[in-house]
Amino acid sequence: MAPQPLSELTTIRVGGVPAEIYEAKTRDDLIEHTLGVWRSGDDWLVLGGGSNMVVADDVSELRVIKVANLGIEPVRSREDGRVVIRVQAGENWDAFVAHTIAQGLAGVEAMSGIPGTVGAAPVQNIGAYGQELSDCLVRLEFLDYETHELVILEAKDLQFGYRDSAIKRGRPGVITWVEFELQDLGGLSRPLYSTQIAADLGAQMGEQVPLMEVRNSVLKLRANKGMVLSDSDPDSVSCGSFFTNPMVSDTFARSLPESAPRYENEDDDGLTVKLSAAWLIENAGIAKGFRIAGSKAAISSKHTLGIVNTGGATAAEIIQLAQFVQTQVSNKYGINLVPEPNLIGSFD
């Protein structure tokens, strides 16, 4: 029986039929089959929730390894109220967040509703509403493509950046499990760092509020942007945010209109400024709901950072629209927007 098309396994619903789809049901199975694929020299892809990728229309030589949901292991507690949880790579990210909240553990509550699996999260250093995965990741187990060896990578080894990591920058391999350090704060969240959550809850920045209130607020805010997967919301047939917010120098940021949102960030390279990709897109003349004539790919009707499949779009149409957005923003502001999802296959 031929494998099913990857359009049926990705949240943006594009992608051709691969040579193979193999579901790894145990950690050892995942390692063994992955090594076999690597030794064959074939093109390969590890597939979790299929949420942060655009797969080409022709992937007939690709071998796909789908990671099963293998669960969450018991916590290891410390006397200072911190606990460590080991989570298998195939665990659904939002299910993991819901589990931590049910256990009264703080640290990932503001990342509710992000689609995908736990194993994919460190590659992108996912984050939202003032929290990032790098804030609480302790270590992970990694099957290294170059050496074919299992290694333990500590947080410092991953060289996390904004939606970035050493793995994303060119260290291919497979994550088998991830450990997180969370906090028992008596059912309260970490101090709020999001003005949007604070405003929604009528709270102050830095205040601690019940974990479930944060989760409910985040899910509402994300749903309003079409960023929560839902069969009833056509704007959720996407990869989520398609572009990362650009990081620029303070000098460059000052050259933009005063109305351009900007967020200062102090790092090893000095003062940098994070801009709003959504603002840049809108002010480059691309409105919500925009689409290229004849295309079934469109800008979300709720949020200009989303590119959606309105029904039957090809991967080529998704990429065509993304490139159009990049060109418009570059022509007006001299900024090259960087796609957030992984682009799998050839898009010539």
In the numeric block, the tokens 């493509």 are attached to: 145
Catalytic residue, chosen from 63, 163, 215, 222, is: 163
Catalytic residue, chosen from 51, 238, 241, 300, is: 241
Q: How many Cβ atoms sit within 10 Å of the Cβ of residue 53?
A: 24
Q: How many Cβ atoms sit within 10 Å of the Cβ of residue 90?
A: 26
Q: What is the DSSP string of 127-184?
A: EETTEEGGGTEEEEEEEETTT--EEEEEGGGG--BTTB-TTTTT--EEEEEEEEEEEE
How far, in Å, CA of 316 to CA of 67, rounded? 26
Residue 241 annotated as catalytic? yes
Do residues 189 and 203 touch, judged by C-beta distance below 8 A? no
> What residues contact 47, with CB distance under 8 A and at least 6 apart?
6, 9, 21, 64, 65, 66, 67
Do residues 145 and 38 touch, judged by C-beta distance below 8 A? yes
Strand partners for 181: 84
Active-site residue set: 163, 241, 340
